[in-house]
Amino acid sequence: MPPTRLDEFGPQPVVSCAGDAAAFTEPRCAEPLVPAAVCDAILATVPPLRRRQSVVTLDERPYPPGAVVAIDGFPVTLRRASFLAFVDLAPANSWPHDCFYVLCNEAGATRVRKGKLPPRLADERRLRVLARGEDVPPWGATPPYRT
């Protein structure tokens, strides 16, 4: 059974971005830290028409079940071990603006939540750029998200 993602439109099949990642310029994954299925599933959540101007960042360490993460400023308790990704749809703009968060398990199943604010991570957590759209200047791909 192929992995699925659950977003505001209900369950959606996850498709690989491997053939459609031309709009992204950064390296895809930091193997072996993050399984390729996780990276592909996260990148697949970015709407194709928004890829050129988006930045996708990822915390490469999974959060354990029961961990509390802040999504758009609200605490969310995780039921499963998950990777946290953040997709900035307008990295050249000041906050607040459209963005979304992706929780992804190792099987590639994702859960997407819309937001308006960047993540605030604990000091031991770091986001790294997973993908940068072709139209995003290098200065627009620096994750400044600290608590």
List pLDDT tens digits, range 35-80.
Answer: 888 999 999 999 988 999 999 999 888 999 999 988 988 899 999 9
Residue 143 lies in a domain: no
pTM: 0.77
Residue 112 belongs to what domain range?
Answer: 4-137
Q: What is the pLDDT of residues 86-96, one digit of tens each?
A: 999 998 888 88
Residue 51 lies in a domain: yes
For residues 70 and 84, the answer to whether their CB atoms sit within 8 Å is: no
Residue 146 lies in a domain: no
Q: Residue 1: which residues within 8 A CB-CB, separation 6 or more?
A: none
CA distance 78 to 65: 5
**Cis previous bond, 96, omega within 30:** yes
Structural domains counted in the chain: 1
Residue 147 lies in a domain: no
> Beta partners for 56?
87, 131
